[in-house]
Each structure stands twice: as C-alpha cells, then as structure tokens.
Amino acid sequence: MNFKSISFYLGLFCFPISLLAFINILYASYFDFFLSIDTYFTTLIISLLAGFGFVFFGKKSKKNINFFEQLLLVIISYFLTSIFIAIPFYLSNYQVTFLNSIFESISGLTGTGFSIFKNIKYLDPTLILWRSSSQWIGGLFFLFFLTIIFSNKSFNYKMTNLTFSGDSTFNSKENIKDNILRIFIIYTSLSVIILTFLNLSGLRLFNSLNMTMTLVSGGGFLPTDDLGKIIETNLQKITFIFALLVSMLNFYLLFNLANKKTLFKEHKEDLYLIIFLIVFFVLIYFNNYKGLDIIISIVSSLANSGLSLIKVDNNLSLYFLLITIIGGSLVSNTSGIKFTRFYILLKITSSEIIKLISPNSIINKTIYNTEKKISDENVKISFLIFISFFLSLFILSSFLVIDNIGFEKSFKLSILTLTNTVNSEMYNTQNLNFSNLLTSSKISLILFMIIGKIELISIFLIFKKILFKD
C-alpha cells in the first residue's frame, strides 16, 4: 500500500472542514453567538494541523494510487473527517458523548439524517448550521469519489459507464484537478440556485441556508423538529420537490445543461426515473391520497432523503420503503440499490424467460434503448449488489433486534441505514431515540451508514486485495 500518497490526498480532505469551521466562526461572531465559538476555533486549528501534516508527509510521494488504495482513502476519509466534524458536538454545552458525536457526524457526512438531538429548534444556531454543513460537505465529497474514483473501469461496480458522463475527458486522471474544480463549481452553483428559490418562496434566510445544504446533498437534517413548520405554502413545496429532483437525477445532467449539450438522447435513465415517479404517484393518487405532500414523499423516498410532510400511515410506509430501496440515478448523491441495477435485473430476467418460451427470439440487450449494451459483467455486478444489500440488511437487523426497539422497527431502520435515509413519519419510525440505543447498535449503524454509501462490495474488494495479494 502506498500510504504516503494516501496521506497526501487525506490531507486535502481536511481543508474543507477547516473552511466550514471558519465560516461558522464568522457566523457566530456576526450574530454574537460567542458561547460556542471556541469549539469551531478548536476544529479549525486541529483540521488545519492534520491537513498540513498529512500533506507534508506525502508531498514527495508518487501521486498515482491504484483502485484499492483509492477505496481505502474513501473509507479513512469518512472516519477522519467525522472526527473533526464531531468536535463541536462533543465540546458543546449539550453533554454529548464522544460516540454520539461521531454518530451525528457520520450521519451528516453520509446524508443519512439520524440524530441524537431532540428539540432541534432549541439548539445553538451555529450547531444547527454545523449539522447542515456536514451534509453539504459529505455530498460534495461523495461526488468527488463517484466521478473520479468509482468510475474505475477495472472495478466499475458503480457502473457509471452505463449512463452518460459528460465529455470524454471528464473522468480522465490527467485532469483530476480540473475535474474537482468543475464538480465544486456545479455543486456550489446548484446550492446557490436552490437557496435563491427557497428565499423567494418566503423562507427565512437561516432556514433557507440549512435546507439548501440538506436538499442538495440528499440529506435529512432539519433546522427544526418538523418539516411542516418550514415548508407550508404550495410555492415552497414545489421548490422543495425541484431541489429533491436535482439531488436524485444524474449529476452530469447539470454539467450538460451548463455546457448546452444534447440532453434527452444521453439521459434516458433520468427520463425513466421521472416516468417511475409518475407511475407511483398515479397508483397512490387512485387510492385517495392526493396533493403535493404525496409527491414530496415519493420524490423524497427515491432521492433517499426521507423528509416528508405526511403523517403516520402504515398503508403507505411499505410503498415508500420499496421506493427508498430502489434509489435514484447511478451518478447522484442517492444510495440504495439504484434504479438502473433493478432495470438490468428485470430486463435480463424477462429476456431469459422469452428465450425459454421462444428460443429463436432476438434478445435486445441495450440499456434504455440506447447504443450501450448490458454486458455479462453488468448483470453479475447488479446481482452481487442486490445480494450484498440484503446480506447487509440481515446482518444489521440481527444487531439491532437485540436492542429494545422491536423487530419491525429494526428491519425498517436497517433499510433506512443502508439507503442513507432519515427516519420519518412516512416510515413510521419517527419515535426512535438514537441517543438511548445500545453502544453496539450505534457502532453498527455508524459502520453500515458508511457501507450504505460506498456499498458492501467495496469492503469485499479491499479484503480480497489484502488476503490474496497479486
């Protein structure tokens, strides 16, 4: 393992945390929230020292790292940055334990939204902003990982090659700095657009800022206890739906919009996702559930956000869990098994059935009726992801069922953890108190929140590399 090179890149991931801490210091100074300002100074200093230390240690190393080293870098990055983000939680006046602080920070980084805090509206505003910031930076990091690391052709278990991915040079290793800058510009611009729309819809600036960082990353943290106290008018609901759609659809769709490229021809996955949303809405609509609130719940489930305006309804929770498992676009901040993988499995299954009935039939193996074809490798990976998801579900449920939360909630919570989706009323899991869970349950949730984001197959690949060295 090239640990010096890993150290260099790890140092670079420390500096965005320093920037967030500096922004919170400015915010606390401007609004006279001096009670907690020391915690952000501490975070700023520690993250800067760690960043410069890691960069100095690895600056003379070769900067090329292989796929397995990249995967290890991703996993270490989640744990290291979560420690920095946990500092303001741990040093706050709310007597948060170190484990609970790590739990909160991992939940933010992965966009899950599980929280150990109750009565959010009574928290220090700087801490609320810090929670939301952790989601924003987590979403940005994941887009870096997704478009630069997970697009590796040798181990393409994310299968980003099956959906349009910008111009041919976007994923090349030669211009990695330019790619990171372009991703940052698009992600930041998108955040500004959502913030502007939310402000124009009538939200307070503080709520708009926090909701922007939540929605653009597909996260689940709120600046208050109830979404209904923030999103009230139809204009606000429509803006909310737009923001969720943006986080769910292919990130390169925005890239192509910025570059005025042909859209519909190259983004069939996004078109199919919209059709899927419409079909589910029609099914629920004819069951006497109407209005924008239901549309928000459907889009929120597919975007793996979990934020909802509807109240408890056990008749619909199964529908929403199913949509949550499916997930959104391959190239987005969403988790889950992903819509395209389901599409591949269903198409290949139907093709095999047709071959049994009519052996002489010509089988169409194109994906979304484009020029790209489904390979045997795509089928194997899709099936492996499907199996690994339910294997993870079984393992995590087994750990959680030991805790005193019941089998049904353990099962639902496992699904939400693996899809990085917040527990909410539409899943009937809103009453879970994460701070009171057993230590074993918290550690399990922390590990599987990360696994849900990077997928279990990546862990298998690392173990395979370590145990069976080439």
Three-state secondary structure call for residue 463: helix
Could you tell me where the beta strands, DSSP code E, fall in 277-432?
none
Domain range for residue 241?
Answer: 3-257
Domain finish residue from 257, 280, 314:
257
Indicate if 356 and 246 belong to the same structural domain.
no
Q: Residue 43: what pLDDT? A: 94
Distances (CA, A) of 392 to 106, 266, 428: 18, 33, 22
Task: Give residue-wise pLDDT tens across range 325-377.
Answer: 999 998 899 999 999 999 999 988 888 888 888 777 677 788 888 778 888 88
For residue 255, how many other CB atoms are within 10 A of its CB? 21
- Sequential DSSP letters for 332-360: SS--SS-HHHHHHHHHHHHHHHHHHH-TT
Distances (CA, A) of 144 to 151, 183, 254: 10, 7, 15
Task: Give residue-wise pLDDT tens across range 149-169.
Answer: 776 666 778 888 787 655 555
Indicate if 365 and 284 belong to the same structural domain.
yes
Q: How far is CA 353 from the centre of its chain?
A: 35
Query: How many residues appear in the chain?
Result: 470
**Selection from 335, 350, 347, 344 nearest residue 305 by Cα:** 335
Indicate if 242 and 355 belong to the same structural domain.
no
* Measured distance CA(435)–CA(457) in Å, rounded: 30
Domain finish residue from 197, 223, 257:
257
Whether residue 262 has pLDDT greater than 60? no
Average pLDDT, the chain: 86
Task: Give residue-wise pLDDT tens across range 71-128.
Answer: 888 889 999 999 999 999 999 888 899 999 999 999 999 999 999 998 888 888 999 9
Q: What percent of the chain has pLDDT over 70?
A: 90
pTM: 0.91
Burial class of 361 by CB neighbour count within 10 A (0 to 12, 13 to 18, 19+): exposed
Q: Residue 439: what pLDDT? A: 93
Indicate if 163 and 207 belong to the same structural domain.
yes
Indicate if 242 and 336 belong to the same structural domain.
no
Question: Mean pLDDT over residues 214-227, rounded?
Answer: 91
190: enclosing H helix or E strand: helix 176-200
Whether residue 406 has pLDDT greater than 90? no
Indicate if 326 and 243 belong to the same structural domain.
no
Indicate if 253 and 265 belong to the same structural domain.
no
Indicate if 273 and 172 belong to the same structural domain.
no
Decide which of 318 and 39 is more confident.
Answer: 39
Which range is most confident: 40-49, 53-62, 146-155? 40-49
Indicate if 37 and 110 belong to the same structural domain.
yes
Indicate if 244 and 305 belong to the same structural domain.
no
Looking at the structure of the chain, the number of domains it has is 2
Domain finish residue from 257, 273, 297:
257
Indicate if 219 and 133 belong to the same structural domain.
yes
Indicate if 168 and 60 belong to the same structural domain.
yes
